Amino acid sequence: MPDTARQYGVKNRFDVNQNLKGGISHLKYLYRKYNKNLPLTLAAYNAGEKAIKNHNGIPPYRETHNYIKRTMKYMGLHYSGYLKPRPRKKLFKYTTKEGRIVITDLFPAKFDGNVEIIE
């Protein structure tokens, strides 16, 4: 974060006053940039603006979600965000010779009838 510190005039990151002033300025900038969306602002502060852009929103980093949750809790607010679900597998539906309907995420290895793909 040296570039970010320099951007806000922080010459000595170990100077508490400079560090706080730079951090607050950066949070203000992010809060405006993300239209007062606090979880998105905190995610950008924690993971970086590139991560927000690359993931088109809050990135699926456990540490970032924990940071948002913890910070908002300190503020008396609740964050119910969750990690993005994994991509859904395709489901296949078919009827056995015995008339039993089977829905599975595995394509049937030996099957000569109709297999329907469920999206």
pLDDT value of residue 92: 80
Residues 66 and 9 in one domain: yes
pLDDT value of residue 96: 80
**Residue 57 is assigned to a structural domain of this protein:** yes
Q: What's the one-letter identity of residue 65? A: H
CA distance 40 to 54: 13
Residue 84 has pLDDT above 60, yes or no: no
Residues 97 and 70 in one domain: no
- For the stretch 25-43, pLDDT in tens is 999 999 999 999 999 999 9
- For the stretch 110-119, pLDDT in tens is 766 677 777 6
Start-to-end CA span in the chain (Å): 43
**Residue 83 is assigned to a structural domain of this protein:** no
Residue 15 has pLDDT above 60, yes or no: yes
**Residue 81 is assigned to a structural domain of this protein:** no
pLDDT value of residue 5: 73
Domain interval for residue 117: 88-119
pTM over 0.85: no
Token readout for 6 is 């320099």
Q: How many domains does the chain have?
A: 2
Residues 57 and 28 in one domain: yes
CATH number at 69 reads 1.10.530.10
Q: What angle do CA 57, 84, 70 make, to 5 degrees?
A: 75
